[in-house]
Structure 1
Amino acid sequence: MPETLFRNVRLLDLQAHDGLTAPCDLLVRDGRIAEIGAPQPAPGAAVVEGRGDLLMPGLVNGHFHSSVNHMKGRLPSLPLEIFMLYECPELEVLRPTPREAYLRTMLGCIEMLKTGTTSVQDDCFFVPEPTPEIIDAVAQAYLDSGMRARLALDQPEVPELDKLPFLRDLLPCELRAPLEQPSPCPAPRLLELYDHLLGQWHGAEGGRLKAAVSCSAPQRVTPEYFAALDDLSQRHDLPFYAHMLETKLQRVYGEECLGGRSLVRYTADLGFLSERMNVIHAIWVDDADLDLIAQSGASVAHNPISNLRLGSGIMRWRDMLGRGIPLCLGVDEAIADDAINMWSVMKTAALVHTLDRPRYEDWPMAPEVLRAATEGGGRAMREPGLGTLTIGAPADLNLLDLSALPFVPLNNLPRQLVHCELGQSLRMTMVAGEIVTEKGRLLRVDEAALLEEAGALFAGKRAQMDRADAQVARYLPAYRAMYDMASARDVGLRRRLG
């Protein structure tokens, strides 16, 4: 790979008053930032004329589920537990072909790269179960697109009735039996599939694609499988994804099923809360939970649009930063955001927390939000330097046109990046030293052909998805009753308005 010199660019500097450095040059060598200032490139180096425009780190989508990229707009806003009933039932009718898995993953890659998201943590779930062929299809899409990605297998392995409070008693006997069955993919098989993921894909393309591990959520796996995943995470230094206390119902689950312990406390008691863990959502947390997270060094993945879309509540942004808890930002998934755009995630994160507390000095500041979307994501991914412009950092970069409308006039760059930009000002995007988009066009894949194929294929799947909806609709009254019971419970916390 030849060197690339960005000539006459201004770098994002969140320590500076105006958020910008003076014009300078930046040299990329071997996929990393090599020199900043006035470097002398080798003969034959590629030169990008910066014209005084902004060079900043690529955005990191710190939490994502690629499996439903093809379902944008399919569901109304619903509480998580009812939403998941329709989103990911373990039904054979929803089993994808490898090509379907490839195309739906590529839909997300296209949208992310075209808006400047260069890295993603894909907590990928598989319906009805993962197979080596589907794992390979997902991974291949990331490799082909040029994105940097961490890929985990988000697969519960306990019966549905063990994951949720009240439901066993609420279901009629004739509906209970299917939900008492364990997952079609038991823990030993899941560990074999992790062996496949690690052996086939971990470190591929010079480390651009790596593995992670996921328990989905602590209540969705046995302690034995939880321990096996933690062991994998330790041995290979992998991020560990765990949804915790996303909803009030999950807080009630701890009271009903864990002897009054929260899911954070339960995870800590098992010894699995560590600096490798990404605690996803963490909305219905109390002070003791936050202290445990802070002591462990774990990151929290904040998904503000998803939290609003599903009515989950408002995360405790200032309380987390005040304890030194590292934050990253995520889309969560296309079906719970309906876009895969980290700029809108940043804007929502900057705004929603104004409703959380009256002291306006506690509201998110634009540099904090930008750090969470860049270096905070790099930390969560366990990629040293990712999301920064330091020497030796991975060369995952966005070049933005400062003469574009969001920046005219240029009053305060960090605020305008967070509140005005939506990805429309990108001149180019680089990942691992390779330019992968330029002037809104992906350079590695035929976007038009992929979109045409995906549009036709998934239009033909609507009838199957409708049949799946009809199959699970019979469970809706019991799930609604469970949700109402949890909503009425006083858990000593308020994370929603009204």
Structure 2
Amino acid sequence: MSDALFRNVRLLDPAHPEGMTSPCDLRVEGGVIAAIGDGLAAPDGARVIEGRGDLLMPGLVNAHFHSSVNHMKGRLPCLPLELFMLYESPALETLRPTPRQAYLRTMLGCIEMLRNGTTAVMDDCFFVPEPTPEIIDAVAQAYADSGIRATLALDEPELSEIEKLPFLAELAPPHLQGALARRPRLKAPDLLALYDHLITRWHCAAEGRIGAAVSCSAPQRVSPEYFAELDALSRAHDLPVLAHMLETRLQRVLGHESFGGRSLVRYTHDLGLLSARMQVIHAIWVDAADLDLIADAGATVAHNPISNLRLGSGVMPLREMLDRGISVSLGVDEAIADDAVNLWSVMKTAGMIHTLSGDDPDRWPTAGEVLRAATEGGGLAMRRPGLGTLALGAPADLNLVDLSSLAFLPLNDLVRQLVHVEQGGSVRLTMVAGRVVAEKGRVVSVDETALLAEAREVFAGIAPVLRRAAAEVADLLPVYRAIHDRAAARDVGMRRKLEKGLL
């Protein structure tokens, strides 16, 4: 942690008529915001940063991310989730990375995020074909070295494909049944041992920047017993619980087929596992009863609008969530489902996609609501008090934004221009925990040039491996397409996308 003084900056304040304060100073001590005022003195040895009247704002929080595919941008066409995952995360030995490959692919995301002002990330990391302590350490070490603030979970299903998906047992040909009914090699005790490693070695590491979370991946992908063990870990260490829920229509259908007509939200509630520590990810195919349960539990929701569009999943009912007081955060999801790791474009999409949800413009999200989701909403999801704010005592995770850039010329409405115009190029400086980690468009916490050169060579070398892995799952594609098509034909009592007859 470092000390610094920002001199002559304007602080983001969406409640102010101009969206920001008059010029002032902000002092950082011990990695937190220590003082705000005029004519502040710099701590001994602190760096003085001349603001020139530019905007100082909280860093952005990427509240849902899968770093494992940072090296796979642009590899896949737009596909429904169930087909997409065949290529994104097949449990193939072919795709086992070396620790260095895992480090480099994680660092690719860190560099992209820090360059454009994302200062914190929640990585629901999946490990192909399975996690090991060495790969977990490589991912966490990349986050520690980069200077970003990160929360890391192990997104590992425990059940077989046939147990996770409706219609698969019926539609899969006999020669595929055995493989699809086989559970992953690592069982609940193995995964819990890996969580012990993650929590013991990395939770609160790097002066508190690195933290652990737990992940069931999705409620239908784990046994109730393992889900309860994860919740107990979360409760013991006050960790976020990450759970993908109702991302697709097929997952809504799954509730009717496998959970006695209960949605996955209701199923989680009935297990006693829906809590204020839980981040419900996607939450597209939810109904009013689901939202009431989420609100009553105090759980948060991670909104991933670009990924939802890329995979054709649908439009999340954002206003209905905000009406209930549910805290919403924003996520990139992953580079392969966004093709960038840029929360500014996620904000812009979130600010526009919900205009398709109805004709009443008073119920469309405001720029202020979107900006809050990308900052304070993410901090709440990470269970980091003050993160994403400029409150005294809050972590000094900050962006200095050049107000003379084209994005703000002319300056008509600061908050709207941050959400709808800015794409990260105006970020002059990025600070995490009081340390400058990016400046003038480059990451300065690591040797960016050397790392990118190494990553370019390494990932060019494994391109044939990715092509071979895609060929290995080709037999499954028609089966999963049949599952998707059957679910798409089911009436689930709600519409979350443009469908036949609506155009």
User: Do the two structures share a fold, i.e. TM-score over 0.5?
Assistant: yes
Amino acid at match of 2:435: E
1:444: how far off?
Answer: 1.4
1:460: how far off?
Answer: 1.3
1:40: how far off?
Answer: 2.5
1:286-305 correspondence to structure 2 within 5 Å? 286-305=287-306
Task: Verify the 8 A CA contact 1:128 1:184 in the aligned structure 2.
Answer: no
Partner SS state of residue 390, structure 1: coil
Partner SS state of residue 279, structure 1: strand
1:330: how far off?
Answer: 0.1
Q: Does 1:341 align with 2:342?
A: yes
Match of 2:382 in 1: 381
**How large is the Cα RMSD of the aligned pairs?**
0.7
CA distance in structure 1 between the aligned counterparts of 2:464 and 2:185, rounded to whole angstroms? 24
1:45: how far off?
Answer: 2.4
1:212-291 correspondence to structure 2 within 5 Å? 212-291=213-292
Match of 1:127 in 2: 128
1:451: how far off?
Answer: 1.2
Residue deviations 1:75-111 (CA, integer Å, cap 9, x gap): 0000000000111110100000000000000000000
1:48-447 correspondence to structure 2 within 5 Å? 48-447=49-448
1:43: how far off?
Answer: 3.3
Residue deviations 1:8-55 (CA, integer Å, cap 9, x gap): 000000111221101100000000000001233333321100010000
Amino acid at match of 1:4: A
Task: Verify the 8 A CA contact 1:264 1:289 in the aligned structure 2.
Answer: yes
Q: Does 1:3 align with 2:3?
A: yes
CA distance in structure 1 between the aligned counterparts of 2:2 and 2:278, rounded to whole angstroms? 36
Q: Does 1:13 align with 2:13?
A: yes
CA distance in structure 2 between the aligned counterparts of 1:17 and 1:323, rounded to whole angstroms? 27
Match of 1:464 in 2: 465
1:445: how far off?
Answer: 1.1
CA distance in structure 2 between the aligned counterparts of 1:477 and 1:444, rounded to whole angstroms? 46
CA distance in structure 2 between the aligned counterparts of 1:107 and 1:43, rounded to whole angstroms? 35
Match of 2:31 in 1: 31
CA distance in structure 1 between the aligned counterparts of 2:73 and 2:456, rounded to whole angstroms? 12
Task: Verify the 8 A CA contact 1:2 1:44 in the aligned structure 2.
Answer: no
CA distance in structure 1 between the aligned counterparts of 2:52 and 2:465, rounded to whole angstroms? 51
> TM (normalized to structure 1)?
0.99
Q: Report the more deviating stretch, 43-52 or 362-371.
A: 43-52
Partner SS state of residue 183, structure 1: coil
CA distance in structure 2 between the aligned counterparts of 1:33 and 1:455, rounded to whole angstroms? 38
CA distance in structure 2 between the aligned counterparts of 1:50 and 1:262, rounded to whole angstroms? 51
Match of 2:22 in 1: 22
CA distance in structure 2 between the aligned counterparts of 1:312 and 1:480, rounded to whole angstroms? 15
Residue deviations 1:228-248 (CA, integer Å, cap 9, x gap): 000000000000000000000
CA distance in structure 2 between the aligned counterparts of 1:33 and 1:200, rounded to whole angstroms? 28
* Aligned sequence identity (%): 69
Task: Verify the 8 A CA contact 2:276 2:298 in the aligned structure 1.
Answer: yes
Where do 5+ consecutive residues of structure 2 fail to align?
Answer: none
1:2: how far off?
Answer: 4.7
List, as ranges, runs of 4+ consecutive aligned residues in structure 1 with deviation greater than 3 Å.
none
CA distance in structure 2 between the aligned counterparts of 1:448 and 1:372, rounded to whole angstroms? 32
Partner SS state of residue 211, structure 2: strand
Partner SS state of residue 33, structure 2: strand
Where do 5+ consecutive residues of structure 1 fail to align?
Answer: none
Partner SS state of residue 332, structure 1: coil
CA distance in structure 2 between the aligned counterparts of 1:109 and 1:367, rounded to whole angstroms? 26
Amino acid at match of 1:15: A
> TM (normalized to structure 2)?
0.98
Q: Report the more deviating stretch, 460-469 or 250-259.
A: 460-469
